Amino acid sequence: SKTLRVAVIPGDGIGTEVMPWGVKCLQATAKVFNISIEFEHFDFASCEYYQKHGDMMPANWKEQLIGFDAIYFGAVGMPNLVPDDVSLWGSLLKFRREFDQYVNLRPCRLMPGVKCPLAGKKPGDIDFWIVRENTEGEYSSIGGKMFEGTDREVVIQETVMSRVGVDRILRYAFELAKSRPRKRLTSATKSNGISITMPYWDGRVSEMHKNYPEINLDKYHIDILTAHFVGRPEIFDVIVGSNLFGDILSDLGPACTGTIAIAPSANINPEGKFPSLFEPVHGSAPDIVGKNLANPIGMIWAGQMLLQHFGHTEAADALLKAIERILERSEASVLTPDMGGMGTTQALGEAIEREI
């Protein structure tokens, strides 16, 4: 099979610390399963780069990256150096938008050996996917300010939903639900309060459902939906939400399964016209930088999603199993402090690399 070309962008903070382990584990898995992967490293899309060049990326970033199959991405953000909206809109959010990675896919799974903050849940009880619209919606760049600096000051930002944008993410979510045994899809809405875009979203969901009569569909307003994540997460199978709602749910979901530090995220351009991007859910975590404490599992699991995405199912399964076995074993000298251990980034990374 053809060589996978992967652009490696560590970014900021712990992104640079977990990335080496992500690459090593991918290489180890590729070796076992005889997959050819080529990595190329890039230092842009970081706040350090911004400080040197006044921009998060070079003008020709798109040309530099477009030939790759995938971007393997660490984390971006150093709010003490560069405002978050500048650093993120200049990197991650630009990739998502300009490489049309309109699906953001995130697993929520209670893993063996991970302490669940919810009372009385055991591995297997919680296992669902969040499908997030990743290019439009509440993350818009239209709006502005008027009467600035006065008491009449008013600031407006527009949420934009397009038929194309909504329908394609819904189709992806229905298809995913169809492939699962429970065939259940939950739509996140807020049509009682957000009275223009959200009723539109609901309408498109009903419309799309007509093509998938076998899917067991329900919808919840986002407020009560977050409550159900805590109260009865086992009812969910596939959840689809707008850019903002998907963002919230995909931090809350991993928090409910105790995996916020280890969860991955795939930003997918399903047509393969542009590179897809794979990253951990956690951010750059400036507070623990340089201490060798960052948990590399989110980064490694993101690599697992990369393999899965390109059809290397066996290799992806093996890598996930390796992660699970290390978690299950729960050795204090291996697990990082966020998981209650005393291990280092290196100890945990090496353990998984060996396990492969």
Ligand X SMILES: CC(C)[C@H](C(=O)O)[C@@H](O)C(=O)O
Q: Which does 211 bind (CB under 5 to 8 A by kind): its own copies, ligand X, none?
A: none
Cα–Cα distances (Å) from 59 to 48, 68, 101, 293, in that order, read: 16, 17, 20, 34
Residue 40 or 158: the one with the smaller Cβ distance to its own copies is: 158
Residue 161 or 177: the one with the smaller Cβ distance to its own copies is: 161
Binding flags for ligand X, 32-71, as an x/- string (CB under 6 A): ----------------------------------------
Intra-chain end-to-end CA distance of the chain, in Å: 21
Binding flags for ligand X, 217-246, as an x/- string (CB under 6 A): ------x-----------------------
Residue 118 or 318: the one with the smaller Cβ distance to its own copies is: 118
Report if residue 247 touches ligand X, rule: CB under 6 A.
yes
The answer to whether 136 and 161 have CB atoms below 8 angstroms apart is: yes
Residue 20 or 337: the one with the smaller Cβ distance to its own copies is: 337
Measured CA to CA, the distance from residue 134 to residue 124 in angstroms comes to 28
Residue 93 or 352: the one with the smaller Cβ distance to ligand X is: 93
Which listed residue (88, 105, 320, 351) binds ligand X by CB under 6 A?
88
Measured CA to CA, the distance from residue 264 to residue 260 in angstroms comes to 9
CB of 75 to ligand X, least distance (A): 8
Measured CA to CA, the distance from residue 344 to residue 21 in angstroms comes to 12
Q: Strand 127-133 and strand 143-146: pairing?
A: unpaired
Q: Which does 197 bind (CB under 5 to 8 A by kind): its own copies, ligand X, none?
A: its own copies
Residue 143 or 193: the one with the smaller Cβ distance to ligand X is: 193
CB of 20 to its own copies, least distance (A): 25
Which listed residue (124, 144, 193, 290) binds ligand X by CB under 6 A?
193
Interacting residues toward its own copies by CB under 8 A:
77, 83-85, 87-89, 93, 116-120, 138-139, 141, 143-145, 150-164, 190-200, 222-224, 226-231, 243-244, 247-248, 250-252, 254-256, 260, 283
DSSP labels for 177-217? HHTSTT-EEEEEE-TTTSTTHHHHHHHHHHHHHTT-TTSEE
Instruction: List, edge to edge, every strand of the sheet that includes 70-75.
Output: 37-41, 4-11, 70-75, 276-280, 264-268, 103-109, 127-133, 238-241, 184-189, 216-221
For ligand X, the nearest residue by Cβ is 193
Residue 40 or 223: the one with the smaller Cβ distance to ligand X is: 223
To which residue do tokens 């969901």 refer? Answer: 205
The answer to whether 275 and 98 have CB atoms below 8 angstroms apart is: no
Q: Which does 80 bind (CB under 5 to 8 A by kind): its own copies, ligand X, none?
A: none
Report if residue 192 touches ligand X, rule: CB under 6 A.
yes
Write out the two tokens for 331: 């050795």
The answer to whether 280 and 301 have CB atoms below 8 angstroms apart is: yes
Measured CA to CA, the distance from residue 56 to residue 185 in angstroms comes to 38
Which positions touch ligand X (CB under 6 A)?
Answer: 88, 93, 192-193, 223, 247, 283
